[in-house]
Structure 1
């Protein structure tokens, strides 16, 4: 979600920062921006979860080692939790609709979305690790899964922090 208070020239430019909007308008804008982000994330999470749920029905699934089956089951649980967190803001909106609680809704939905992104990072890195483990070997699975985890953390956490700091 974008910063809800600063738009325009950077610090030291001599220009006033911020938007001329009421708290209600800010909540509406933040909610709409969050919904756009959730639409992108929900699609990916649902596809990934669907992929994981079909694996036990594949002939080669029986050949997985105990370790691979354990990793798979953890990934299914993490993926289900990610799906739940990514959809929870919509359910929360339904329960709070017309109750004049949009600022609290936006704050809660933002926290749930952040938590879902953390879980999604683990699920994606875990799936990459599992695939490499099955196809190439256990060592490759650990290395590539670790690289995927670091890359996703860099893209989804470090890069935004760098952009925010350079503003």
Structure 2
């Protein structure tokens, strides 16, 4: 409860919450899908360029790993759409939301790998600079901060409780205030 006696949070049934969370998840997936589809399409064309045959063995291996990661990323990020289509009307949306959320998180981790390897390959081919690993490491650190570090910090810092944490309020109950956090 807040100081003025109002309850915090939403008053929604499990199905309403699943509907809301599904909509939010699909919006998030759309953003990631667009980027990964463009990147994957680009990766598929690289092998047909004449310069591909002049790449070193190491760069060709990096390319193949990147394409495989891109394919897996595409599968994980399109998976929630297929899941929804195949289970639609079966009254399992809360379970589907949890599964789709996990697929999306796996997709983001795979996207992290795809972007890292794509950047490594591009910078190695474009610059032949010995500082490429350091540049890639700096961008990887940035990805980690933006994609995982800040969201996890915000989750810990601002969430009144975590449903994942044992001892938190049961689902559907009013959230308890945490005086140590604004």
Using the size of structure 1 for normalisation, the TM-score is 0.88
Say which of 1, 21, 28 aligns to 2:12: 21
Partner of 2:93: 102
Say which of 62, 65, 69 aligns to 1:78: 69
Secondary structure class of the residue paired with 1:57:
coil
Cα distance in 2, alignment partners of residues 145 and 122 from structure 1: 12
Cα distance in 1, alignment partners of residues 31 and 64 from structure 2: 25
Say which of 11, 15, 26 aligns to 1:35: 26
Partner of 2:157: 166
Poorly superposed stretches of 4+, deviation over 3 Å: 10-15
* Higher helix proportion: 1
Q: Give yes or no for contact 1:130–1:141 (8 Å, CA) kept in 2.
A: no
Give unmatched runs, 5+ long, in structure 1. 1-9
Using the TM superposition, give the Cα deviation of residue 138 of structure 1 relative to its aligned residue in structure 2, in angstroms.
Answer: 5.8
Say which of 78, 81, 88 aligns to 2:79: 88
Using the TM superposition, give the Cα deviation of residue 150 of structure 1 relative to its aligned residue in structure 2, in angstroms.
Answer: 1.2
Give unmatched runs, 5+ long, in structure 2. 159-182
Q: 1:148 to 1:14 in 2, by over 3 A?
A: farther
Q: 1:56 to 1:164 in 2, by over 3 A?
A: same
Using the TM superposition, give the Cα deviation of residue 136 of structure 1 relative to its aligned residue in structure 2, in angstroms.
Answer: 1.4
Q: What is the total number of aligned residue pairs between the two structures?
A: 158
Matches within 5 A, 1:79-158: 79-137=70-128, 139-158=130-149
Partner of 1:4: none
Partner of 1:5: none
Cα distance in 2, alignment partners of residues 126 and 50 from structure 1: 15
Using the TM superposition, give the Cα deviation of residue 141 of structure 1 relative to its aligned residue in structure 2, in angstroms.
Answer: 2.8
Q: 1:13 to 1:72 in 2, by over 3 A?
A: farther
Q: Say which structure, 1 or 2, has more relative contact order (CA 8 Å, 6+ apart).
A: 2
